[in-house]
Amino acid sequence: MAERNIPDKGPVKTVIDGQEVQIGDGSIVVAAITSCTNTSNPSVMLAAGLVAKKAAERGLTRAPWVKTSLGPGSMAVTRYLERARLIEPLKQLGFHNVGYGCTVCIGNTGPLPEPVSKAIADHDLCAVSILSGNRNFEGRVHAEVRMNYLASPPLVVAYAIAGRIDIDPYTQPLAKDAAGDDVFLKDIWPSQSEINAAIADFVTMDEFTSAYANVYAGDERWQSIEAGGGQTYDWPESTYIKNPPYFDGMTLEVGEARDITGARCLAVLGDSITTDHISPAGSIKPDSPAGKYLIAHGVDKKDFNSLGSGRGNHEAMMRGTFANVRLRNLMAPGTEGGVTLHQPSGEEMSIFDAAMQYQSEGVPVIVLAGKEYGSGSSRDWAAKGPRLLGVRAVIAESYERIHRSNLVGMGILPLEFTDGANARSLDLTGTETFDITGLDNARAKQVQVRATAPDGSVKTFIARMRIDTPNEIDYYRNGGILHYVLRKLAA
């Protein structure tokens, strides 16, 4: 394993739990055994427990600045770790069970210790995470963590001990033991025969059968929830679930596809914009549009939870759209975190505030992007959020296939630049007004885009319409798949 090239600003001294420590670029501040997939794998989970056991026997523990957590794949995993007597060693290294479900992998990381957060902010440190999850997109794991590394559960334990990502665990010690001797990865790594023996002794069918016997009963808190028995849902006053406006003003008749005229650009984005950039699932910053909304509705910062858990409230989710802390909008160079310039005023504001202003002005909006727009998780809110912001079309160099279909499903037109063109080659800055014509022909393969700059100059180019199937034509003409299905049911 080669060392990573991370710019070094030098160590920063801070005090954690009364102990003076040094952290810097490359310090691991989050180490999590998490994921709905590999935390159900007995081989790697027992290996993680065995690493913890061997490390604890040498008197090792996690580095003080590392926030650790364990999210087992099921109750059965917890049970065979308990039978193998590996739960306690994991706890000794800080890996306490935080629950069953989406945790750090989707951004449910919780706050870092205050001294760590302050050191990162004051010194602009490149702090990192290591997790056994499936995703490591920018801004997903934690807003204060700039780099995220994926590893197996036993390696997560080992790196939590080291506390740094830029070491070679084959040639460099992870830490010193209670006797002051260097401990290398090989010293605490279990053999395959040890892992196999643990699987044979502790992973049984009975463990899974008993764990899942009453899986639908839920715990006392679940059983205590009062639920009505009516045919329709009685929407409560809540900041977690609200009646979304998707069907406001809807009629039974299907309207004609109309050209998009006088549109403004909400963002000019680069390549590989993921669904996490578009609709982050992590923590909510108090000074963000979503945070301000929650505060205005009486929610304390400690109760914000995450955007991932707020997917039933469109008011929070639309405010979180394009609000990833690492999103860079080329319309507002030098900024991160969902900032744009309202046109034609040129006023800098959040993308949400600009979208709401455009809506009040009756102005449709579009997004310009590069290659692989919408890559990553197939997140429905990456299409729902833009739709609620008033986005009528995206013009990109290419799309991730599921996100392209999700855009159509929400009534957003996915267009592609043709002949190798892109926003840069066409000198599009996002200050133009855009007219997209030819949409009245639902089976057309191309449309014409006319971009009028503030000085009155005009650029006209052809864009490929990425409505790829006959069913998608029907979805788009209906304004999205939700309207399509509801009209079918009503008929």
Mean pLDDT of 222-246: 88
Q: What is the DSSP letter of 53?
A: H
In degrees to the nearest 10, what's the CA dihedral of 459, 462, 466, 469?
150
Higher pLDDT, 255 or 388: 388
Look-up: residue for tokens 């205005």? 296
Q: What are the tens digits of pLDDT across the range 159-200?
A: 999 999 999 999 999 999 989 999 999 999 999 999 999 999
Rounded Cα distance, 207 and 453, in Å? 67
Rounded Cα distance, 155 and 176, in Å? 17
Confidence at residue 184, expressed as pLDDT on a 0 to 100 scale: 97
Rounded Cα distance, 432 and 449, in Å? 11
| Residue 154: closest CA among 27, 65, 50, 76 | 50
Q: What is the DSSP letter of 332?
A: S
Residues 151, 41, 222: CA angle, nearest 5 degrees: 105
Encoded tokens for 263: 């549109």
Q: What are the tens digits of pLDDT across the range 290-348?
A: 999 999 999 998 898 888 888 999 999 999 999 998 999 999 999 998 999 999 999 99
Look-up: residue for tokens 């910062």? 301
Confidence at residue 72, expressed as pLDDT on a 0 to 100 scale: 93
Q: What is the DSSP letter of 4?
A: P
Confidence at residue 442, expressed as pLDDT on a 0 to 100 scale: 59
Q: For the whole model, what pTM was predicted?
A: 0.86
Q: What are the tens digits of pLDDT across the range 46-93?
A: 999 999 999 999 999 999 999 999 999 888 999 999 999 999 999 999
Backbone angles phi and psi of 429, in degrees to 5: -105, -10
Q: What are the tens digits of pLDDT across the range 17-46?
A: 888 999 999 999 999 999 777 888 999 999
Question: What residues contact 209, with CB distance under 8 A and at least 6 apart?
Answer: none
Sign of CA dihedral 463, 469, 475, 478: positive
Sign of CA dihedral 104, 107, 111, 115: positive
Q: What are the tens digits of pLDDT across the range 456-477?
A: 999 999 999 999 999 999 999 9
96, pLDDT greater than 80 = yes
Q: What are the tens digits of pLDDT across the range 251-304?
A: 999 988 889 999 999 999 999 999 999 999 888 889 999 999 999 999 998 898
Quickly state the pLDDT bin for 1 (edges 50, 70, 90): very low
4, pLDDT greater than 50 = no
Backbone angles phi and psi of 278, in degrees to 5: -75, -45
Quickly state the pLDDT bin for 420 (edges 50, 70, 90): very high
Backbone angles phi and psi of 303, in degrees to 5: -105, 10
CB count within 10 Å of CB 221 equals 7
Confidence at residue 468, expressed as pLDDT on a 0 to 100 scale: 93
